């Protein structure tokens, strides 16, 4: 199927590893001109090399911490006018309410929520003027079913979901769709860190924790980053024009509610 996005411009943040890297690769495979972002130049260069090798399309690199609105302005200057925004970043640390001080909450808000707001602010008006745009926000299964030791993630991703839904209502008439994608347990570096943290608390190995993540969902394994990336690429397509305001899980059936 021709997704109709060859030659469009995408910015994928948090793209030097894991889910962001997989999304950048999948978009580049469709002939999208991709800019990849993360905080670390060296990681981005390695990712860019990998994407060129796999797709023949060389992504642009925009280094910067997206928790800061000034950095976002610089990233957008490098990326140019964006048709497809994939707003993604690292996850905040795991823990309970009592583990975090005021500054931890502020940092997590900047990382998860304010980054997405500032990225949207930077791309929305040009999309509106063009009459076409795709806003895709990475959240988590935690917005559908909060995860006990991820209070920072549960809180700010829920806020991001509310933001996305509101934007989707307002901007649909300008050809702009806005959706969130909600990964369940997906085999990336981040998930290994979470497995390590759980392993320390429970006295088992991180490998056993990983196996446990897979066994709790009907599919019986953790997800592959490329499985989430396929959804992102579809949401970016011309065919997905009628999907907006949705929060779509890619979780092997982990989320058990009917709707
Ligand atoms: N994997 C899962 O099972 C899962 C499930 C649900 C939700 N999620 C969420 O999905 C997101 C991506 O997860 P992942 O598993 O792909 O994580 P990951 O492997 O840790 O990748 C995170 C990416 O974000 C970049 N990054 C981190 N902080 C950044 C910042 N402030 N500004 C710009 N880039 C930043 C990292 O690169 P640098 O370090 O070079 O900056 C890296 O490229 C996370 O928010 C995670 O919590 C993941």
- 20 and 68 share a domain? yes
Whether residue 175 is predicted with pLDDT greater than 90 in this model: the reply is yes
Taking only the tens place, the pLDDT of each residue in 63-114 is 999 999 999 999 999 999 999 999 999 999 989 999 999 999 999 999 999 9
The overall pTM is greater than 0.85: yes
- 73 and 138 share a domain? yes
- 216 and 168 share a domain? no
Nearest 5°: phi and psi at 131? 75, 25
Residue 57 lies in a domain: yes
Q: Are 235 and 177 spatial neighbours (Cβ–Cβ below 8 Å)?
A: yes
Distance 16 CA to ligand 1 centre (A): 9
Q: Which two tokens stand for residue 130?
A: 């063009």
Atom of ligand 1 at shortest distance to CA of 16?
43
- 69 and 114 share a domain? yes
Residues with CB under 6 A from ligand 1: 13-20, 37-40, 43, 65-67, 88-91, 111, 138, 140-141, 153, 183, 185-186, 188-191
Number of domains in the chain: 2
Atom of ligand 1 at shortest distance to CA of 186?
3
Taking only the tens place, the pLDDT of each residue in 176-212 is 999 999 999 999 988 988 899 889 988 999 999 999 9
Distance 49 CA to ligand 1 centre (A): 19
Assign 160 to helix, strand or coil: helix
Residue 216 lies in a domain: yes
- Residues taking part in catalysis: 156
Cβ burial, residue 243 (10 Å; 0-12/13-18/19+)? middle
Mean pLDDT of 205-229: 95
Range of the domain at 89: 9-185+224-250
- DSSP H/E element including 102: helix 102-108
Probe ligand 1: pick from 23, 74, 89, max atoms within 8 Å of CB?
89
- 205 and 148 share a domain? no
- 194 and 76 share a domain? no
């Amino acid at each position: 199927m021709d997704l109709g996005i060859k030659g469009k411009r995408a910015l994928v943040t948090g793209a030097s590893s894991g889910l962001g890297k997989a999304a950048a690769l999948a978009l580049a495979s469709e002939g999208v001109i991709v800019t990849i972002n993360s905080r670390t130049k060296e990681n981005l260069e390695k990712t860019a090399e990998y994407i060129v090798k796999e797709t023949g399309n060389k992504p642009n690199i925009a280094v910067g911490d997206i928790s800061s609105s000034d950095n976002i302005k610089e990233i957008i200057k490098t990326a140019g006018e964006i048709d497809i925004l994939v707003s993604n970043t690292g996850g905040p640390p795991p823990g309970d309410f009592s583990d975090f001080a005021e500054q931890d909450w502020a940092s997590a808000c900047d990382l998860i929520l304010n980054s997405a707001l500032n990225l949207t602010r930077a791309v929305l008006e040009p999309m509106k003027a063009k009459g076409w745009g795709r806003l895709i926000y990475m959240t988590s299964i935690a917005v559908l079913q909060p995860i006990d030791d991820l209070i920072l993630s549960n809180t700010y991703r829920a806020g991001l979901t509310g933001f996305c839904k509101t934007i989707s209502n307002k901007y649909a008439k300008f050809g702009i769709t806005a959706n969130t994608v909600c990964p369940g347990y997906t085999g990336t570096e981040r998930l290994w860190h979470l497995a390590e943290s759980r392993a320390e608390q429970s006295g088992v190995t991180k490998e056993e924790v990983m196996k446990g993540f897979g066994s709790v969902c009907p599919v019986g394994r953790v997800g592959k980053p490329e499985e989430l990336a396929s959804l992102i690429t579809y949401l970016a397509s011309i065919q997905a024009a009628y999907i907006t305001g949705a929060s779509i899980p890619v979780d092997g059936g982990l989320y058990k509610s009917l709707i």
